[in-house]
Amino acid sequence: MAEPLMIFDEVRDVIVASGGEEITKCMQCGLCTAVCPWHRMEKEAEFNTRGMFHMGRLGYDGYESDDFLFACTTCNQCAVFCPRGIKIPDLVRSMRSVIAETGGIPKNLKAVVGSINSQGNPWSQERSARADWMKGYEVPAFTPDKEYLLYVCCTSAYDGRSQKVARAIVDLLKAAGVSFGVLSGEEQCCGESVRKIGAEQEFTNLAEYNIKLFQEKGVKKIITTSPHCYYTFSKEYPEFGADFEVYHYTEILADLLKQGKLSLSKSVQGRVIYHEPCYLGRHSRIFDAPRELLGAVPELNTLEFHRSKDLSMCCSGGGARIWMETEAGLRFSDVKVQEAAAKDVNYIATACPYCIVMLEDSVKNQNLDEKIAVKDISELLQASL
């Protein structure tokens, strides 16, 4: 005889109290499950959005496995199409916070939270090394007379591949005469991913620290290198009293291009396809600026994936999945790379450090690294200066 399902009103109440009150609005129509990228894969996934919320509403606390609650990439496709307008990634975060309170998060994510607490970044790198990406490179320091703070995300600060993106953005801003500077390592992680893990206290600590630092330094406007930082600064930090103007670098550069302050003259020959970062597109509604920038590079032939904008498939790096293992046959980035290869492209372009990590892994795993290069948009623009 099957064991009875254990239902706990207090579990549901904690989810609601943690910001998941919209869970009561779900009418179990299943559209979220239908549009979820997990169900476009060649292998059947354990993850089921509707089932997850059904258990949450019941107060069942058995949804904490790596392949279930922590499988969600928070790509926001379900929320875009939800007939009730439920902010589903926020519900996922609330449910994860219940698990985080009991220490039940996956082992890989415990290491991320531990690194945040000890080093102020999720990559288990020394706090003192945050500014190493600037070594041998002339980057202006932020002072109150500068118009913008350039906030370089943890990935671009510590990861050797992604450091090239930070330097490319610096080159472009300098070429356009933008008044900007950096804080040289005093800042900490924005906290977007750690909040998606469910570690609310750690996120609060980061937010309060960064807001205080920015205010003390006289920051009014921020340019981010990552869509995840953009989302957090613009949509989550205001909960803690932040009042900054926040821009993703593609917005700034697209505007400079229209004003004639950014000149792209060198040809970059080849075919490029644009991969839509979820936190730039669906979450933040920035669809046009990246395409305008790619379209301005001389002789670069731009293509689109079969599914784009609100229908675009996630790379599977969001929602803290970048630190977790995904077996072959269930990797979203593999699907994107396969389609790009079928279109005979030379470049996959994106504007997110997590997307670069995931797409480059898939290009290498499929032995396509001699045919396809994964590039941040800034790197293609830098080549055209």
Pick the CATH number of 262-383 from 3.30.2000, 3.30.200, 3.40.50, 3.30.70: 3.40.50
Q: 58: alpha, beta or left, given left = phi > 0 and alpha = psi -120 to 50?
A: alpha
| CATH code of the region 108-254 | 3.40.50
Q: What is the average pLDDT across 151-156?
A: 98
Q: What mean pLDDT is reported for the chain?
A: 91
Cα–Cα distance, 105 to 73 (Å, whole number): 15
User: What are the pLDDT digits (tens) for 288-315?
Assistant: 999 999 999 999 999 999 999 999 999 9
Nearest partner of 345 among 287, 281, 268, 263, judged by Cα: 268
What percent of the chain is modeled with pLDDT above 90? Answer: 74
**What is the rounded distance in angstroms from the CA atom of residue 25 to the CA atom of residue 29?**
11
Confidence of residue 250 (pLDDT cuts 50, 70, 90): very high
Closest CA to 381 of 174, 227, 144: 174
Structure-block tokens of residue 108: 């890989």
Question: Where in the chain do CATH 1.10.1060.10 domains reside?
Answer: 9-101
Q: Are 332 and 313 in contact (CB under 8 A)?
A: yes
Looking at the chain, which residues constitute the CATH 3.40.50 domain(s)? 108-254, 262-383
Per-residue confidence at 3, pLDDT binned at 50, 70, 90?
very low
Query: pLDDT digits over 232-245, tens only?
Result: 999 999 999 999 99
Angstrom distances, CA of residue 203 to CA of 63, 189, 246: 23, 9, 19
Q: Give the closest residue to 286 by CA, choosing from 350, 200, 369.
A: 350
| Span 74-123, pLDDT tens digits | 999 999 999 989 898 988 888 888 888 888 889 999 999 999 999 999 99
Residue 1: the pLDDT is: 38
304: phi then psi, degrees, rounded to nearest 5: -120, 150
**Domain 9-101 falls in which CATH fold?**
Fumarate Reductase Iron-sulfur Protein; Chain B, domain 2 (1.10.1060)
Within 10 Å of residue 378's Cβ, how many Cβ atoms?
Answer: 25
Burial class (CB in 10 A: 0-12, 13-18, 19+), 137: exposed
